[in-house]
Amino acid sequence: MRIATLEHQGRRRVGRLTNDGRSIDLFAIDGTRGALALIERGNAALPAIDGQVALAGARLLAPLPQPRRNLWCVGRNYHAHAKELRETVFKDNAADVQSWPIVFTKVPETVIGPDADVQLPGAAVSSQIDYEAELTLVIGQGGRNIARADALKHVWGYTIVNDVTARDVQMRHAQWDLGKSFDTFCPMGPWIVTADELDASDTRVRCWVTPNGGSEELRQDARTSDLIFDIPTLIETCSRGITLLPGDIIATGTAAGVGMGMKPPRWLGHGDVVRIEIDGIGTLQNRFVQEGA
């Protein structure tokens, strides 16, 4: 199933894409928290359908527009990306790969939906805004100390996140959260594909940037089989001593080809558009606009 959250007749609703992908069947449940209402039902039968809207023209929101707490995010988790950063940014790193994943968080208020604009904060705050295309998993059944072997049973589904980052702020602080948590810095969508429909261990992740007035450039093109720490390992790591809750989100890290890794680096500017596509999920596209413009 593809589970979408949308604005419909002034209300937030959650629904399921029809098999032909042209419409959304609306569930007769409170859609305020998007797909979270559905996730929390666990194994209960799906809610009744009380309407249908065409996908064309539907105003999609992030599938989890108000995550209940910070999003877990993984840093430097593709072999090729670790290599590109060692050559450009983290030159003092002896090895591409560390023993444990880097995990940081983004605050839930960063989340915006497909088609919403990312706000560039102005040069006084940051002049180095970058994209990060990421396969992202959503926890279904919660748990603590989840073993690697059981981890996939806890995945409810997958979506796409653009882990937008202010690089200068990220690098200024030992912890990355500040540079990752600016308002609007977490486009998410276009929907959640339930875990039964995607083999996330090997799918293609691509990201294009269209500079304002320019033509589209493919910047990231990777397969999730290049992940340093795979999804079961990430769930095992994040649940170590910490109870994961239904609806928790883990962004699995980005691939090579970020703006920071280019020579010279290329930052996002007003009017640029970033489009991310993950095979088996869909497309997430957002424009970047200067605050106040």
Positions in the binding site for Mg ion (CB under 5 A): 132, 163, 254
The distance of closest approach from Cβ of residue 15 to Mg ion in the complex, given in angstroms and rounded to an integer, is: 29
Pair 282, 157: CB distance under 8 Å: no
Looking at the Cβ atoms of 163 and 272, the one nearer to Mg ion is: 163
Rounded to whole angstroms, how far apart are CA atoms 268 and 119? 11
What's CA 215's distance to the chain center, in Å?
Answer: 24
Pair 163, 180: CB distance under 8 Å: yes
Looking at the Cβ atoms of 36 and 85, the one nearer to Mg ion is: 85
The distance of closest approach from Cβ of residue 232 to Mg ion in the complex, given in angstroms and rounded to an integer, is: 19
The distance of closest approach from Cβ of residue 31 to Mg ion in the complex, given in angstroms and rounded to an integer, is: 28
CA distances in angstroms from 88 to 72, 92, 130, 164, listed in the order given: 25, 10, 15, 19
Looking at the Cβ atoms of 239 and 254, the one nearer to Mg ion is: 254
Looking at the Cβ atoms of 220 and 254, the one nearer to Mg ion is: 254
Looking at the Cβ atoms of 26 and 169, the one nearer to Mg ion is: 169
The distance of closest approach from Cβ of residue 1 to Mg ion in the complex, given in angstroms and rounded to an integer, is: 27
Rounded to whole angstroms, how far apart are CA atoms 275 and 253? 17
Rounded to whole angstroms, how far apart are CA atoms 226 and 81? 10
CA distances in angstroms from 238 to 21, 72, 203, 225, 242, listed in the order given: 34, 8, 22, 20, 7
Looking at the Cβ atoms of 132 and 272, the one nearer to Mg ion is: 132
Residue 34 amino acid letter:
G
The distance of closest approach from Cβ of residue 209 to Mg ion in the complex, given in angstroms and rounded to an integer, is: 16
The distance of closest approach from Cβ of residue 132 to Mg ion in the complex, given in angstroms and rounded to an integer, is: 4
**First vs last Cα of the chain: how many Å apart?**
39
**Is 89 buried (19+), middle (13-18) or exposed (0-12) by CB count in 10 A?**
middle
